[in-house]
Amino acid sequence: MLQISCPWCGPRDELEFRCGGQSHIIRPDPPEAIDDVSWGKYLSEKINPRGEHLERWQHNAGCRRWFNVARDTVTHRIRATYHMTEAAPAFSADGVAP
């Protein structure tokens, strides 16, 4: 079982969280100014990489806040958790935060 460190509550079991998919997706602004194809891509086209992935998670059974997780989709190793307003962490070529 994964241990996920909520930025507010600290480490907790994976069962307390739910994944909300890819993070750092920017909503088109204003949405009524873009065409239907672009809006459809915004809503449905998400990346599904093998390796480093930036995801949104909610501490569903705890503080209920959303935050970002940098997780390796192959090993499930969590490299960082950070607030929604923070930039994604930088990683070196071997995937380790400097």
Query: Which residues in this chain contact Zn ion in the complex, by CB under 5 A?
Result: 6, 8-9, 59, 62-63
CA dihedral angle for residue 18, residue 83, residue 24, residue 32, rounded to 10 degrees: 90
Identify which of residues 54 and 67 has a Cβ nearer to Zn ion in the complex.
Answer: 67
Distance CA 31, CA 53 (A): 26
Identify which of residues 1 and 93 has a Cβ nearer to Zn ion in the complex.
Answer: 1
CB of 41 to Zn ion, least distance (A): 32
CB of 73 to Zn ion, least distance (A): 23
CB of 60 to Zn ion, least distance (A): 9
| The two three-digit tokens of residue 6, written as one number | 């909520």
Identify which of residues 9 and 74 has a Cβ nearer to Zn ion in the complex.
Answer: 9
Give the count of beta carbons closer than 10 Å to the beta carbon of residue 31.
10
